[in-house]
Amino acid sequence: MATTNLQAPPVSSPTQQAFETITRAAERGAKMVRSLLSFARQNPAEERELDLNMIIREEVRLLERTTLAKVRLALELASDLRPIRGDASALTNAFMNLCLNAVDAMPAQGTLTLRTRNMAPSWVEVDVEDTGTGMTQEVQAKALDPFFTTKPVGMGTGLGLSMVFSTVKAHQGQLEIWSQPGQGTRICLRFPACKPSNLPLVAVEPRETAAVGSRKVLLVDDDELIRGSVQALLEVLGHQVTVAASGEEALALLQTGLEPDVVILDMNMPGLGGGGTLPALRTLRPSLRVLLSTGRTDQTALNLVAAFPNVTLLSKPFTMEDLRQRIQQAERGV
């Protein structure tokens, strides 16, 4: 059934601020998935000129609404910090891991200090320092090993620091740990600086939320959480959304007269799935635009795109901006 558009909360209201926090967290989760997939490659997925101060301030804005209420935050950021070349998403995840570890190490409150500075001859340093429980020498010796953790079962994967170390190495950098039991921990990340260019520095990818015009979208996904969240994103973009929990339900809607402009079709579903639904959908609506949504772009998905006209891949996880662009491209036949 079709739903009405969401009522946008007032600007600067607690609801709007919460929505922005959730959006940033969701986008960060999507980027972390991409970082995990590239973990074994040991090289940045993309490189741009970056201002580490901008990345750290963005992290602080997110943490202030979540975990930093438990601790005091001190920022000591060099105003003349030199830029580096790197992958903003990977570095963002690295700093987030370090900050969360630091907060966990201070159960009875404390101070988290984030510090940047230029170092001779051409290095940039970032310190993440806490006043928490600290580490023994035995723990420090294993801290960077994959899957090593001192947290209780179910509370940590042991991948946090090893991923940070991998990210630092991929950026030709260095990592050092200073810690003593009861005296806190300081982790120093050191990166090679680059000569600044005339281009604007980048911290995180900008988010576009402007509406692209109202379209009728049929969203087909068996995951209730995905249906709800993607429907909300589409409605914020100004579209009218009808949802279906299976390929069979989507085909029944088309057979009873539904006329969408675009279909977002999940590839992996019980029953017909995306692969079985697409041919039947094409029989009912030969020219209908389809975004084939999948978290794994395998040969089966590529074959479907090649076999049927007006079908475009929509890789999971995706953002509001990805949806906006893909719907525009589908309408242009790109």
Using pLDDT thresholds of 50, 70 and 90, give the confidence band for residue 128. very high
Question: Could you read off the pLDDT of 153-196 as tens digits, one per residue?
Answer: 444 444 568 888 888 998 999 999 999 999 999 999 999 999 76
State the span(s) of the chain assigned CATH 3.30.565.10. 14-192
pLDDT confidence tier of residue 3, bands split at 50, 70 and 90: very low
What pLDDT, on a 0 to 100 scale, did the predictor assign at position 298?
72
Which residues, 6+ apart, have CB-to-CB distance to 302 below 8 Å?
313
One-letter amino acid identity for 68?
Answer: L
Residue with tokens 């370090």: 98
Query: Residue length, the chain?
Result: 334
- Region(s) of the chain under CATH 3.40.50.2300: 216-332
User: pLDDT value at position 320?
Assistant: 78
- Which tens digit of pLDDT belongs to each residue from 196-247? 666 555 544 443 433 445 789 999 999 887 888 888 888 878 889 999 999 9
* CA-derived radius of gyration, the chain: 23
Q: Give the up-direction half-sphere exposure of residue 133: CA atoms within 13 A in the CB hemisphere.
A: 13
pTM for the whole thing?
0.52
Fold annotation for 216-332: Rossmann fold (3.40.50)
Q: What is the CATH number of domain 14-192?
A: 3.30.565.10
Q: List, for residues 130-159, the tens digit of each pLDDT value.
A: 999 999 999 898 888 876 676 654 444 445
